[in-house]
A and B are shown apart, each in its own frame.
Chain A
Amino acid sequence: MSTDFAREAIEKLRSENESWITDVKDALGEFTATVPASAIVEVCEKLKNEHGFDLLADLCGCDRGPEEDPRFEVNYHLFSTVHYNRVRLKVLLSEDSPNVETVTTVWKTANWHERETYDLVGVIFDGHPDLRRILLPSDFDGHALRKDYPLRGYEPYSLT
């Protein structure tokens, strides 16, 4: 798929405000823009309202490992039902403050995606209307998809 519209939109955003986009990458036919955590809502709003990226296809977190800094990343996969283009926004978060503003104000679908990311990776979405665990039990200790969480878990949900 071509990434022309994605590239154009990101370039426009960059010329509007230099600090919104810190890095861009075009690899394997996919266009990625790194956005600082403080600007993600503004960037999403602009992309949705002005550039036609109206569908939040996916939102997922990733733990790079405890020795990395920034440790966490949150990936937003946007799709345009007008131009049929995709763009990935990436927010990098440190271990000390894994906080990022919620995008549930932009897309309703972000609600469950953000709950899942909070549940499994432990990223905290500030301003989320209902930030509870979604897949794991509410008394679960820790975040299962973190690299330092053992595969077989801790008590009482341990498999050993």
Chain B
Amino acid sequence: MMDESLDSQMTISMGPQHPSTHGVLRLELVLDGEVVVKAKPDIGYLHTGMEKLFEYKKYQQGIVITDRMDYLNPLGNNLAYVMAAEKLLQIEIPPRAQIIRVLMCELQRIASHMVWLGTHALDIGAMSPFFFCFRQREKILNLIEAASGGRMTPSYFRIGGLMMDLPAGFERRVKQFLEDFPAAMDQFETLVSGNTIWQSRTKEIGYISKEDAIDWGLTGPCLRGSGVELDLRRHDPYTGYETYDFEIPVENDGDVWARFRVRMRELYESAKIVRQALERLKPGPTKADAPKVVLPDRDDMRKHMDSLIHHFLIVAEGFNVPEGEVYMPIEASKGELGVYMKSNGGPKPERVHFRGPSFVNLSALPDMSEGELIADVVAIIGSLDIVLGEIDR
């Protein structure tokens, strides 16, 4: 009896309630001893029908839904959504709004990577980096809260610009954060990167080749960890990213360690972009000159009749978007976040589809984890940096 059970393969279910699956993900693992023979992800536990909901909401109402997809990178989701609508409407955004968008998105990227680093380390068994990471993230969430009023659900970007301008003293607070950040990074490099246990847990694990990575549609740090230099901020630029000076970190090993290094190096680049954006920040309008689309300022509404009428019409009836379809990709913290938006001329979109980077990156998990030890599956999931809210939508 004993011998028989030792010979045969075993199927176990990892999740849906498992701390290292970063949400409600179920993995069906066929094991031979400790080696994974077959892995089958099972998703959909968090499906809330957001894409259906978009079709019943006016364009500006859809922004708050996007916050709840990738909840670690809500400003990135906002950006992709509003830029798709702006592309259909063909609205030009004033320079100050563009710069603030870049600034906020890069801060959000740092915050998202902080959660990734903390939880990735926690999964593998290093507990203290988690607290240090969340301390840094907290500072950024405070900044986002100061600008938008929301910490996890900012909805700060609106179609045609921003919700409102940055509050007084915001630049000083960002500068303070940037001053403290290098010391925090040094701490992470010592605690995590320089740790030999960490290195032996991550090196030569979860390998994926350059060709396979493209074939599986990987994007973002996962693709760059396999030696492909592709960053949409450089190669398909939006919101003026082409004018910023930053490097694209690329590692050639294609394993968990390589993906880890790419994200760590990206953190420095993001801080560099934030610094440049701060330098460029000049006073100016933060909303596009499109009265039929952009909500007027409160002050305007009290003084001008036409502003009041526009405000009423936008809130009550929405605005019509010309017929057409666009696919708007951005480089989110996890990879290419694409929004496919189709309009049939009315105030509500006909179809909104989100191409979530986590969704696509997770589909490559069986390819990476088959043949590895079961304990390493945890490390591989961490290196993919998935958010189930975006996968299930």
Check: A69 CB closer than 8 A to any chain B CB: no
Name A130-154 residues within 8 Å CB distance of B: 133-137, 144-145, 149, 151
Select which of B215, B326, B338 is within 8 A of A109 by beta carbon: B215
- Residues of chain A contacted by B164 (CB below 8 angstroms): none
Does the CB pair A27–B324 fall under 8 Å?
yes
Q: A29-B87, A56-B217, A112-B360 are in contact. List 17 more A-B contacts (CB 8 A).
A: A28-B88, A55-B219, A57-B327, A58-B338, A60-B353, A62-B342, A62-B350, A62-B351, A63-B351, A64-B350, A79-B329, A108-B217, A109-B215, A109-B360, A134-B44, A135-B44, A135-B393
Q: Residue on A with the closest CB to B212?
A: A108
The answer to whether B359 has its CB under 8 Å from any CB of chain A is yes
Identify the 3 closest CB pairs spanning chains A and B, nearest first. A109-B217, A58-B355, A60-B353
B218 nearest in chain A by CB position: A109
Q: B353 to A109, Cβ gap below 8 A?
A: no
Stretch at the interface among B48-56, B117-125, B311-319: B48-56
C-alpha gap A1/B393 in the complex (Å): 29
Is the CB–CB distance between B49 and A144 below 8 Å? Answer: yes
Of A77, A88, A136, which contacts B44 at CB under 8 A? A136
B336 at the interface (CB under 8 A from A): yes
User: With an 8 A cutoff between CB atoms, is B92 at the interface?
Assistant: no
Chain B nearest CB from A66 CB (Å) reads: 14
Residue A111 lies at the interface, judged by CB distance under 8 Å to chain B: yes
> Residue B43 at the A interface, CB < 8 A?
yes
- Give 1 or 0 for each of B22-48: 1 = CB within 8 Å of chain A CB: 000000000000000000000110010
Q: Judging by beta carbons under 8 Å apart, are A135 and B350 in contact?
A: no
> CB-CB contacts of A28-47 with B at 8 A, as 1s and 0s?
11101000000000000000
Neighbouring A residues of B353 by C-beta, 8 Å: 58, 60, 62
Whether A145 lies near B52 (C-beta < 8 A) is yes
Contact flags (1/0) for B215-237 with A, using CB distance below 8 Å? Answer: 11101000000001010000110
Determine if B255 is an interface residue (Cβ-Cβ < 8 Å).
no
- Least CB distance, A97 to chain B, in whole angstroms: 21
State which residues 245-283 of B face A: CB under 8 Å: none
Q: Which residues on the B side are within 8 Å of A94 (C-beta)?
A: none
Interface size on A, residues (CB 8 A): 39
Q: Is A54 an interface residue (CB 8 A)?
A: yes
| CB atoms of A112 and B88 under 8 A apart | no
The smallest C-beta distance from A129 to any residue of chain B, in angstroms, reads 13
- Across-interface contacts of A116 in B (CB, < 8 A): 359
Binding site secondary structure of chain B: mixed
Contacts of A113 in B (CB 8 A): 360
Within 8 A of B (CB), among A10-33: 27-30, 32
Contact of B217 among A57, A62, A120, A134 (CB under 8 A): A57
Q: How many A-B residue pairs have CB under 8 A?
A: 98
Asked if A7 is at the interface (CB within 8 A of a chain B CB), the reply is: no
List chain B residues, Cβ under 8 A from A109. Answer: 215-217, 360, 363-364
Interface size on B, residues (CB 8 A): 41
Whether, in the assembled complex, B214 has its beta carbon less than 8 Å from a beta carbon of chain A, the answer is: yes
B63 to chain A, nearest CB (A): 19
Q: A120-B51, A145-B52 are in contact. Are A55 and B214 (CB under 8 A)?
A: yes
Closest chain B residue to A54 by CB distance?
A: B214
Known A77-B338, A81-B230; contact A144-B324, beta-carbon cutoff 8 A: no
Bound form: Cα–Cα A55–B326 in Å: 18
Q: Please name all residues of chain A whose beta carbon is closer than 8 Å to the beta carbon of B327 when the two chains form the complex.
A: 30, 57-58, 75, 77, 86, 88
B52 and A57 contacting across the interface, CB-CB below 8 Å: no
Please name all residues of chain A whose beta carbon is closer than 8 Å to the beta carbon of B241 when the two chains form the complex: none
Task: Give the residue name and chain of the A residue nearest to B338 (CB).
Answer: A58
Q: In the complex, A120→B342 CA distance in Å?
A: 17
B340 close to A75 (CB less than 8 A): yes
For B229, give the chain A residue with the smallest CB separation.
A81
Q: A58-B353, A135-B44, A135-B47 are in contact. Are A84 and B236 (CB under 8 A)?
A: yes
The answer on a CB contact under 8 Å between B56 and A151 is yes
Contacts of B338 in A (CB 8 A): 57-58, 77
CA gap between A81 and B364 in the complex, in Å: 19
Q: Which of A28, A56, A62 is most buried by chain B, counting CB atoms within 10 A of its CB?
A: A28
Of A58, A116, A137, the most chain B CB neighbours within 10 A belong to A58
Compute how far the CA of A77 lies from the CA of B364 in the bound complex, rounded to whole angstroms.
19
Residues of A within 8 A of B370 (CB): none
Q: Is B392 an interface residue (CB 8 A)?
A: yes
CB neighbours of B359 from chain A (8 A): 112, 116
CB–CB A134/B49 < 8 A: no
CA distance A30 to B328 in the complex (A): 10
Q: Indicate with 1 or 0, residue by residue over B323-362, a CB within 8 angstroms of chain A CB atoms.
A: 0111101000000101010100000001101010001100
In whole Å, how far is A107's beta carbon from the nearest beta carbon of chain B? 6
Chain B, residues 358-380, CB within 8 Å of chain A (1/0): the string is 01100110010000000000000
Contact at B355–A28, with CB atoms within 8 Å?
Answer: no
